[in-house]
Every structure is written in C-alpha cells, then in structure tokens.
Structure 1
Amino acid sequence: MSTILVRGGTVVSATGSQLLDVLIDGETIAAVLRPGATVLGADPAAVADTVLDATGKYVIPGGVDGHTHMQMPFGGTEASDTFETGTRAAAFGGTTTIVDFAVQTPGVRVQDSLAAWHEKAAGKCAVDYGFHQIVGDVTDESLKGMAELVDEGVTSFKLFMAYPGVFYSDDGKILRAMQTAADLGALLMMHAENGIAIDVLVEQALRRGDTAPYFHGTSRPWQLEEEATHRAIMLAHVTGAPLYVVHVSAKQALEQIAEARGKGQNVFGETCPQYLYLSLEEQLGAPGFEGAKWVCSTPLRSRAEGHQDELWRYLRTGDVTSVATDHCPFCMKDQKEMGIGDFSKIPNGIGGVEHRMDLMFQGVVDGRISLERWVDVCCTTPARMFGMYPRKGIITPGADADIVLYDPAGHTSIGLGGTHHMNMDYSAYEGFEIDGHVDTVLSRGRVIVGDGGYLGSPGHGRFVRRELSQNLL
C-alpha cells in the first residue's frame, strides 16, 4: 500500500474550485489539504512515497460513464470493444468507472444474463465497472428477478420503446416493469422512440430507394422521440417510478423532461457528446456510405433546427442530468458495411468512451458550461444517479482515489494518429482539436495513465456493487 501526494493543483468539484493538495493512502483519499498544511506536524510530502506535481492542472474526480455497451451483440455482429480494450480506452480519456448493460434476450432469465456479462468482464477491466440490466422480456419471472439483482448491486433497469422484435416492450410491459421498479426503489431507464412507427417509416424509405445512411436519421424523426418521451413520463407518473431517459437527442424531448421536472416528477435526462457536436446534415449526410460512421439511435439531429444549441442550454439549466457516451463501437469494415444499400442493416452505435471528458471540457473552453458543471455532469451526478456516491465522483476523504490531473494548457488531437485507443478502424471525432489534455489518471490510488502511456493492467478494475440512486428528487 503506497502513499501518494497530489500537490499544487486546483481541485474542481461540482460546487467550486480551490487550490488544494490531495493525500492518497492505498486505494482511498486520506486527506484534502490546504497548501502548506501539515499532517501530524510534518510536511505531507515527507510521509508520501510519491509526489505528483499538479501545478497548473485541474485535479478532478475520475469520470463516471453511466452508459456503455462493451461486447454487445447487435444486428448480427458485436460491439468491437471488449471489456479489456474499451476500459483501457476509457482510462486514456480520464474515465475511471463505467456502467455497462447486461442484455436479457427472450427466454433467458435476467439472473443468467447478468451472470454472462459478469463472465465477460471479470479479470479484464482496466477501470472499475458496474452493470445496468436490460429487461428484454418482461414476464412474471423477470419482474421477480429484478428484486434479486437489486440485492446484488444492480439497481437500474433499462427498457426499449424501439426495436420491435428485438428489445421492444409495449406499454403494458413498461407499466408492469415501472411498478416493480417503484416498489424496489430502483431506477427505470428508457430508450424513448416510437419503434412501431419508425419501422413503418424505414420500410417506406427503403421502398422509395432511400437507402443511404442519411435516411437513418430522417426515418427516426424528432416527433417520435418526443412522443415516446412524453409517453414514458406519463407511465412513470402513473406508477411513481423514477425515470431516466437515455441518449436524448431532440430538443423537444428535453422540453418534455424539463416540464416534468418542473412539476416535481422524478425524471432525468441523459445526453451524449455526439448530440452536442455532430449533426444530421454534416455527418449522416456525408458523401457515399461515409455517413454510416455516425449511425446511432437516437439519431443525430439537424443543426438547422437548433437541437445542439438547445441541448447545451439544457445542460446549463440542469435539465440534462448527466453526459454519457452510449459507447457502442463498430468498425466500418465488415460491420458498418453490412448496411451498404440498406441503412436499416447498419449496426447502430458510436464509439466515444475515450473522448467524453475532453469533448465536454471543450464546452468549458467555449463558454458553453462552467468548469464545475463539467465535473458535475461527467463525474459527480452520474455517481449519485447510479448509487456510487460518495465512493465515486468526488474528491473527499474516504472516497476511492479515482483522480484525473487535467492540463488546461495541453492539447488533444482526436483521430487515428492522435489519442485514439478504442478498438475501431475510425473515430467519430476524427479531426477534432481539444484545448485541454488528460495528463495523469489514477484508479483507486494506482497510476494507470501517465507520461503519455498506459500503466494499468487487465483485472485491476473491480465490479462496483451499487446502492439505490441518491439523486431522486
């Protein structure tokens, strides 16, 4: 067990920033000290095995990405990042905890599907990890299984209003799952798109010969995201279940969430960097089949309609609760290419687990959000939302020593030739230039990224048994 002193940096929390030193003892934070303070009458550097100079840098909690899909089967293929490669990329980007999704398919018990994801992740992860449970088959047995999973530290459950025949749940099944979640005090997560109507629009587009990636976006219009979001909110209101709407991309859907929150309902909205930076016109509308790189659901929205600016505004007002990545990477070769001539066969997903902290810091540089809000939506609120606070998401005595030294004077060029470590043959953010850089990353007191290289190892990351959400109104 070693002792580390992080000296000379500006510690940033969700509520303020201050020049402070951080003393780490083993895997946890032992003390947060004013500059010049002593420990047992001595300079803390004298009791530390290692001193990390953080002068000129921000010292922030390790990032918590509450929405990833490592090794997820989808559309006849599987997400290209394993738990090993994906969590290593997360570490490079300053994320020290992920919450991935265990997937239940019809006929499989939720307990058995969770066990399968434990097997995928155990001994592989570079950073700590937890699980949400996708309930793809709402039955009496699945609803009973939800209670068992809560006891095992899996306290959030996801349903889909999209993908009929795959993950889709009708309103009756959603109602029953919400009733169970309400009884358990668990968080109900929702992919909110009207999948029945979308399937009709997809079929009509293909019949017209509109097969390019661009039409993935136009066949999933914002109206069907807003409608599904409103319906989910109403069902949650009937049942009393807390509702967390994932990957919100349409400003109208966020307006529904903001209105419900204004009335005191336990409704929360998550968005992702792709919806803040990328667009239907510029990315999905790229020439030829290039737009397939950015096919994801919910889809990228029109910049001309102002979705991106409104999402940033909702970040500032607090109606966007947290920023996650929905990291679900697929390579162009042999994966995205499955959809050449038919956009509906393109695997849905964007890789971004490595870039979230940088992209959101650029929002600070650009005056979109405050420094404290950056830490709040990327670290603190996700930890609270998913029952890991104050163990994660904050720099305070007793917390896990998950710490990032972030250099605001540094620079990050995103792309294959830059800082891209995900198991993909492209990056959705190639060419982006970030006015900041992840300098050093500690996971539970161990330096896993430093001096520009990876110093971690598979199996360092541990499963996090989560408590119930601490962010309910």
Structure 2
Amino acid sequence: MRTLIKNGRVVTAVDDYVADIFIDGETVTTIGKSLDVEADVVIDASGKIVIPGGIDPHTHMELPFGGTQSSDDFFTGTRAAAFGGTTTIIDFAVQTKGESMTAGVDAWHKKAEGKTCIDYGFHLITTEFEDGTEREMYSLMEEGITSFKLFMAYPGVFLADDATIFRAMSAAGKCGGLICMHAENGIVINEIIKRFLADGRTAPKYHALTRPTIAEAEGVHRAIAIAEMAESPVYIVHLSCTDALNQVRQARDRGIAAFAETCPQYLFHSIEDYGDGWDGAKYVMTPPLREKHNCADLWTGLKMDDLQVISTDHCPFCMKEQKELGLGDFTKIPNGAPGVENRLALIYNGGVVENRISLNRFVELTSTAAAKMFGMFPKKGTIAVGSD
C-alpha cells in the first residue's frame, strides 16, 4: 500500500519543517513539498505534528514473577503500545538458570510469534555467565541480540555478583554489546526487609521504605565503576532518584560511557501515593516511587542529557488475584505497573506542554535515542528516506 501524508509538521530529534511524506509499503521513499505521486491513501496532516513511531526499550510481556506472570501477552501489550503511538518495543527474554542464553531467546520468540501488532526486539536477562557464555553472547549478537541485562537485586533469583557482572561487561565491551543494569544493593535491601517483616511492617508502603535511594545510588556507582574497569559502556535501567542520577552525571562528566533511562512513574508519581492501605499495592514496582523532589531533578536530567531515554518498564499485574498474592506481606506483591500505552501522551503533556523539554527533545527521548542505543537508527527513530 502506498500512503501520502500531506502538509504535516515533520519533527525529528534535530529537524522541524512542513513537508509531504510518501510511504511505499512500510518504508519512507520520498519527502518533499507538494509531492505529485499516486497513493492508495492520502492523509491531510495540516496543522498536525508528524513524528517517528515511539520506541519503548523496556517492557516485560508474559514475564514470570512471584508465582504469576505479567498480565499482558504480546498481543494485548503491543496493541496497547500501538494505541499510544509506540511502534517498536524491546522486551526482556530471560535465561533460565541452568539453561543456555539461546534457549531463553527462543522461548521468548515463541511467546511473541504471530501475536505482535508492532515491531519488537529482545534484550536478554542473563542469569549465568560461565565458561563458554562469551561465545554464546557473540553468537546472539550476530542474530541481533546486542544488549544483555544483569541484576544487582533479587538475591536467589536474578542477582549477579560483581565477578559475574565484570565478566559479562568485559565480554560485551569486546564485541560492541551493551550491558543493561538493574542497579540496587539487593543484599543490603534484603537485610532491611527482614527487619521490617520482623517488626510486623507488612503494608505496601514498606516496599518503598525498604529500598532507600542510597541503595540505588550505591548500585549505580558500583555498576559504573565495574564498567570502567571492564572497559565497557553501561546502561542503567529505570533510574528513579536524584542520588542515582548524580552518579551518572558525575561519570559522564568524567567521560565515562554511562547511559541511563527513566520512566513516567518516576516523573509524575511519588512515595505519598502508597498511602497506608492496600491500595498502595498498585504502585509496588522496583525501584519504588520516591520523594516528590526527585521528579523535578529527573526532568532536569532529561533536559540536560544526563538521562538519555524514557522507557516504561511496562509490567502490569491485576490488583485482584495477582497483586493480592501479597496481602499481609509486601514482599509477595508482584512488582510492576503498566505504561506502554500512555508514555507518549504523558511525556508530551508533562514535558513539552509544560515547557520542561522541547519538542525535538521529546522525540529524542521517546524514539531516537533508543534507536541509536540499540542499533535501529536510522531505520527507526527518525523520519528520513529509507526509514520505517
């Protein structure tokens, strides 16, 4: 099908102009003024903004967690993304302990195959990095899996020790891969949680109070230090607070290849939303919501390029049956919340309309930067001849 978009205000991360766009199939073939071409569909975009499709590089469809799995599958989740203007997601496949990396990727391909409404790719959550793993990492990179996630949290489930992180970063650094890091001091957090439970503090709000900002900042500092020793870049996922942001800013000021994303929940919500009752379970995610002042600092970080990407960490669980697994014990509440459908609208209104960021920066944060970070630019993340 041939589509002509006429008279739209075309906005990318670097441009802002009025033009016609001719699309043959799924590819932009011509951009210009008053194009005289035959098209099956003509869209008059006069007075409208035309931007690249959003890219959400952090989603969790059908993710097993806490005795259940996230409530969106690859159909419902990508349908929601499409409604919200996101045309590409990068989901996290999981390497099960004792199995190969390839088996983890294959399992997620089976979940997604034939279901998705938009384009998708995968990172791989790496639970082991032993002899031979480096060769498997290189093989996966040839197939297009170029980013690998490790955790400093969730002891006994995902947590990787510093030696494992160093080995993975060293391997990725050699071959142009990227380690995505969930950065919190999970060992200390686990000890804090034990104290709270022993004192009978079990309500949802204690999820936040047992994961202090200093634990995230320490994890970010350590992740960056290990990356520096491994001579590898590092990408901090779902950064939530000023203390952690300062670690990224300081590293980047020293010329370290440290990158970070944040999410809408950390820009609009705060720890006060937990309240004292069960309703706070809807906000149980990791990292948790923070004190309100962190929101303003994160917006500044986005404006100043201390933060490069806005993702969602989309990982929804139903309040009934799923979140209720944690009634009486916040540690058993499945961690996660939705976001993939509302991300662009939230950031446009809260960012561009409220004059926190420019329209070009909006496009960069929600599409272009992720495309560049994860090897999709300029096929995705911009509007140019040859782009999707």
TM-score range, shorter chain: over 0.9
- In structure 2, the residue matched to 1:360 is 347
Aligned to 2:281: 292
The question of 1:211 aligning with 2:202 is answered yes
Q: How does 1:41-80 map to 2 (within 5 A)?
A: 43-44=36-37, 47-80=38-71
SS of residue matched to 1:102: strand
Letter matched to residue 378 of structure 1: T
Give the Cα–Cα distance (whole angstroms) in 1 for the partners of residues 266 and 153 of structure 2. Answer: 19
- Give the drift of 1:218: 0.7
Shift of 1:94: 0.2
Counterpart residue identity of residue 284, structure 1? Y
Give the Å deviation of 1:112.
0.6
C-alpha distance in 1 between matches for 2:69 and 2:233? 31
> Which residue number in structure 2 is paired with residue 253 of structure 1?
244
Q: Deviations over 1:199-250 (max 9, x none)?
A: 0111111111111111100100000000010000000000111100000001
User: Matches of 2:155 and 2:55 in 1, distance apart?
Assistant: 31
Structure 1 partner of 2:381: 393
* In the alignment, structure 1 residue 314 sits paired with structure 2 residue 301: yes
Is structure 2 residue 320 aligned with structure 1 residue 333?
yes
Query: Is 1:157 matched with 2:148?
Result: yes
Structure 2 distance, partners of 1:228, 1:258, is 15
Equivalent residue runs for 1:303-452 within 5 Å: 303=292, 306-362=293-349, 363-400=351-388
Give unpaired runs (5+ residues) of structure 2: none
AA at the equivalent of 2:331: S
**What is the CA–CA distance in structure 1 between the aligned matches of 2:363 and 2:284, rounded to whole Å?**
28
Within the alignment, does 1:273 sit opposite 2:260 as a pair?
Answer: no
SS at match of 2:337: coil
- Determine whether 1:86 maps to 2:77: yes
Give, in angstroms, the shift of residue 138 of structure 1. Answer: 2.0
The one-character-per-residue Cα deviations of 1:419-443 (angstroms, maximum 9, x if unpaired) are xxxxxxxxxxxxxxxxxxxxxxxxx
TM-score under structure 2 normalisation? 0.98
Determine the structure 1 residue equivalent to 2:11. Answer: 12
8 Å contact kept, 1:135–1:142: no
List structure 1 segments (4+ residues) > 4 angstroms apart after TM superposition.
none
- The 5-angstrom pairing of residues 135-174 of structure 1 reads 135-174=126-165
Amino acid at match of 1:233: I
Q: How far apart in 2 are the matches of 1:349 and 1:142? A: 30
- Choose which of 224, 232, 240 in structure 1 pairs with 2:231: 240
The one-letter code of the counterpart of 1:216 is H
Unaligned runs of 5+ residues in structure 1 are: 401-473
**What secondary structure sits across from 1:320 in the alignment?**
coil
Q: Which of these residues, 110, 122, 125, is aligned with residue 116 of structure 2?
A: 125
State the match for 1:445 in structure 2.
none
The answer to whether the 8 A contact 1:63-1:97 is kept is yes
Select which of 169, 185, 194 maps to 1:178: 169
Q: Give the letter aligned to residue 383 of structure 2.
A: I
User: Is 1:114 paired with 2:105?
Assistant: yes
Task: Give SS of 1:326's match.
Answer: coil
In 1, Cα distance between equivalents of 2:15 and 2:3: 23
Q: Hey, what's the Cα distance between the residues in 2 that align with 1:109 and 1:26?
A: 37
* CA apart distance, 1:141: 3.3
How far, CA to CA, are the matches of 1:23 and 1:199 in structure 2? Answer: 55
What per-residue deviation string (whole Å, max 9, x for no partner) do you get for residues 277-332 of structure 1? 01111x222x42000001100111011xx100000000000111100000011000
Q: Which amino acid aligns with 2:182?
A: H
Provide the C-alpha distance between the structure 2 equivalents of 1:85 and 1:239, rounded to a whole number of angstroms: 39
- The answer for the alignment partner of 1:26 in structure 2 is 25
Q: What is the CA deviation profile of residues 131-160 of structure 1, one whole-angstrom value per residue up to 9, with x for unaligned ones?
A: 001101222233332111101100000000
Structure 1 distance, partners of 2:132, 2:159, is: 18
Q: Which amino acid letter does the alignment assign opposite residue 6 of structure 2?
A: R
Partners of 2:302 and 2:232 in 1: how far apart? 23
Q: CA deviation at 1:185?
A: 1.0
**Matched residue of 2:111: which SS?**
helix
Deviation readout 1:231-280 (Å, 9 max, x if unpaired): 00000000111100000001111111011111111110100000000111
Query: What amino acid sits opposite 2:321 in the alignment?
Result: D
1:99/1:130 contact within 8 Å kept: yes
**Using the alignment, how far apart are the partners of 1:244 and 1:223 within structure 2?**
19
Answer 1 or 2: higher relative contact order, Cα 8 Å, separation at least 6. 1
| Distance in 2 between residues matched to 1:310 and 1:75, nearest whole Å | 32
- Which amino acid letter does the alignment assign opposite residue 342 of structure 1? D
Q: Is the 8 A contact 1:109 1:141 kept in 2?
A: no
Residue 381 of structure 2 aligns to a residue whose secondary structure is: coil
Once residues 16 and 240 of structure 1 are traced to their aligned partners in structure 2, the CA distance between those partners, rounded to angstroms, is: 34
Partners of 1:138 and 1:169 within 8 A in 2? no
Match of 2:344, SS state, is helix
